[in-house]
Amino acid sequence: AKIYFENLKNSSFELPKIFDGRENIFLRFTIKHQRAHQIIKEAWSKNILIGDWYTSPIAPRDTKLEKMKYKVGSCPTAEKLSKIVFNLPTHINISQNAVKKIVAFLKNFD
């Protein structure tokens, strides 16, 4: 997460909030960008695995919203966020080189 913060802090990506006086641990490093879905698609085409877990107001994305009795427009914030968020990997097996490759890729969208 530190490399993401250091390299994307002055970019067009909205990064997670850091809380002073706390130890910040990122199970998910969720960022926002207006072209999130385009970024995800291009990343996958380059074998860069970034997460798209939140592409629907109800997860997982293949959930039948009507079966959940979800009404479009009933959660406008969730609907908006599902269009602009994606996750960067922070798992134990991600190398610093892989993170730097992800950062370099993302800077093309800045």
Lowest-confidence region among 35-39, 40-44, 59-63: 59-63
What average pLDDT does this structure show over 74-95? Answer: 94
Integer CA distances (angstroms), 9 to 20, 70, 79, 92, in order: 17, 36, 25, 23
Q: Which residue range is the domain that position 95 belongs to? A: 2-107
Question: What is the total count of domains within the chain?
Answer: 1
Over range 49-70, report the average pLDDT.
86
- Residue 106 is predicted with a pLDDT of 97
Q: What is the mean pLDDT of residues 25-30?
A: 89
With cut-offs at 50, 70 and 90, classify the pLDDT of residue 87.
Answer: very high
Give the global pTM.
0.85
**CATH number of the CATH domain containing 59:** 3.90.1150.10
